[in-house]
Amino acid sequence: MTLTMAVVRERLPGENRTALVPETAKKFAALGTKLRMEQSAGISSHFLDHDFPETTLVTGVAEAYAGATLILRVTPPSTAEIEAMPEGSVLIGLLKPYESKERLAALNAKKITAFALELLPRISRAQSMDALSSQGACAGYQCGLIAAARCTKFFPMLTTAAGTIRPARALVIGAGVAGLQAIATCKRLGAMVEAYDVRAAAREQIESLGAKFVDTGVSADGTGGYARELTAEEKAQQAEKLAKAVAAADVVITTAAIPGKKAPVIVTKDMVARMKYGAIIVDMAAESGGNCELTQPGEHVIANDVNIHGPLNLPSRMPTHASELYAKNLYNFLSPWIKDGQLAFDWTDEVLAGTVLCRDGATVHATVKQVLGES
């Protein structure tokens, strides 16, 4: 039986990305895959139906999923969408695995094999599949643009007939993929940039982009390329030295996150009280609670005349390139296992074993089970 791949329009409010773009549709078709796509599934990413000549266009979720072997998504499916999926089908996407026991139960009830790209092992071989990194790059870029657009000062130094304008001072907290992209964007726009990360290895990366590293004397290198959670003493030392950098900045961009946990609070309300009037905070971690104590997810709040932005779903603000990157991640993950128009997974493979969330009617990822209390 030929592998049938299905893609529907993302229905989460504000979501403009799509899991299939014309380039990857062509590549999947060349592997012998039959493609079925809901009409206008790519319209919010500015891809038209006629850009997908390899696909069969259908109306609605039920028709798209009927008989599908493999389902590609950006966001997690609703319970109603899961009900429409064929029993035993394969689902892949950014499934927010730590968020909902009910969603996992619904997937397991249909014996769906679900891959959550958030769980992808952080190894060299998986870099081309790493959707968190590709979408993080989009988010970091957007944070830099938001900061520049909202800042009350020029980002670059300007020499004018009236005199010289000093460049704005930007501080980026967190130097993962998103943070590094925020640093690079602020530098391109001409700001004086400082940056901080608890991982010792980040110093070289920060300085390679032309930014100054803020040294607090705290290092928290963790496993899998992520930072570990700091002790109370380390947090106090970090806060004391970081507060000075925050107070001097015109713009603060925060990007620190811990998988499966609430974002660490790094910028306290006391730090905000010491900031310049008119300063800007762009909190990329707003979706997981925020790195600033005063962040309100999805809102713009003002405290002590400091503007605190908690933007959500930043990659969706640039859906064309975000979708292209994400779709390539999906293709790179799946293409090695499509042979003669069939899926042939090797469950001993490190990437597959590390990314699979549900299989054979059960949640199989150990960390997810532990976080949700199912182990």
Summarised one tens digit per residue, pLDDT across range 303-322 is 999 999 999 999 999 999 99
The CA distance from 74 to 20, in Å, is: 9
Residue 259 or residue 183, greater confidence: 183
Query: Cβ(242)–Cβ(266) under 8 Å?
Result: yes
pLDDT of 374 over the 90 cut: no
Judge whether 349 counts as a catalytic residue. no
Q: What residues are paired with 90 via a beta bridge?
A: 70, 113
Residue of 11, 51, 125, 127 with catalytic role: 127
Residue of 36, 130, 134, 323 with catalytic role: 130
Judge whether 130 counts as a catalytic residue. yes
Mean pLDDT of 101-106: 96
What domains can be seen in the chain, in order of their start residue? 4-119+318-363 (3.40.50.720), 139-315 (3.40.50.720)
Residue of 45, 133, 142, 323 with catalytic role: 133
- pLDDT (tens digit per residue) in 184-198: 999 999 999 999 998
Query: Which pLDDT band, with edges at 50, 70 and 90, does 200 fall under?
Result: confident
pLDDT of 204 over the 60 cut: yes
The mean pLDDT value of the chain amounts to 94
pLDDT of 259 over the 80 cut: no
The CA distance from 156 to 109, in Å, is: 56
Judge whether 133 counts as a catalytic residue. yes
The CA distance from 63 to 84, in Å, is: 9
pLDDT of 15 over the 90 cut: yes
The CA distance from 58 to 63, in Å, is: 6
pLDDT of 214 over the 80 cut: yes
The percent of the chain in helix, strand and coil, each rounded to the nearest 5, is: 40, 20, 40
Judge whether 127 counts as a catalytic residue. yes
Question: CB within 8 A of 305, min separation 6: which ones?
Answer: 277, 278
Orientation angle between helical segments 319-334 and 131-150, nearest 10 degrees: 170
Residue 36 or residue 234, greater confidence: 36
Residue of 122, 228, 274, 317 with catalytic role: 122
Judge whether 342 counts as a catalytic residue. no
Q: Please report where in the chains the tokens 């001409």 appear, as a residue.
A: 190
Q: Give, for 306, the enclosing helix (H) or strand (E).
A: strand 306-309
